[in-house]
């Protein structure tokens, strides 16, 4: 990955074989519109190849026992109302913006994330 000819120090993880997490060390060079666009095009190419939607923000992914579940936001709201999920349900907070938040606040109880509004 590069930004205006400068190499970027980046990494990628695939937690639970379900997510694609891309990180950038901005201490050497920051992301630019071009490098961000390139990463989005990369994700879009995966979507096209596998006929999947990876960037739909209207979905919720959460732990259901030992499994990772994925529901539309409207279904998750219904599950919260029916008490099928609780404020203690572990959710994946994809609003994290840096590696520290990713490590400490990506997998959190719903009560500690934006999902808390449903309880």
Which pLDDT tens digit goes with each residue over 18-67? 999 988 877 766 666 777 778 889 899 999 999 988 888 889 999 998 89
> How far is residue 7's CA from residue 105's CA, in Å, rounded to a whole number?
29
Q: How far is CA 40 from CA 2, 35, 49, 69, 105, in A?
A: 14, 9, 14, 24, 23
What pLDDT shows up at residue 5?
53
pTM of the model: 0.78
What pLDDT shows up at residue 29?
61
> How far is residue 21's CA from residue 38's CA, in Å, rounded to a whole number?
15
> How far is residue 55's CA from residue 2's CA, in Å, rounded to a whole number?
22
């Amino acid at each position: 990955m590069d930004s205006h000819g400068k190499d970027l120090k980046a990494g990628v993880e695939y937690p639970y074989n379900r997510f694609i997490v891309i990180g950038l060390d901005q201490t050497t060079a920051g992301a630019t519109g071009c490098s961000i666009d390139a990463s989005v095009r990369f994700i879009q190419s995966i979507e096209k190849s596998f006929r999947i939607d990876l960037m739909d923000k209207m979905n919720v992914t959460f732990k259901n026992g030992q499994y990772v579940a994925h529901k539309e936001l409207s279904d998750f709201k219904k599950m919260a109302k029916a008490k099928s999920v609780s404020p203690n349900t572990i959710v994946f907070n994809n609003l994290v913006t840096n590696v520290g938040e990713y490590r400490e606040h990506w997998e959190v109880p719903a009560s500690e994330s934006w999902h808390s509004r449903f309880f």
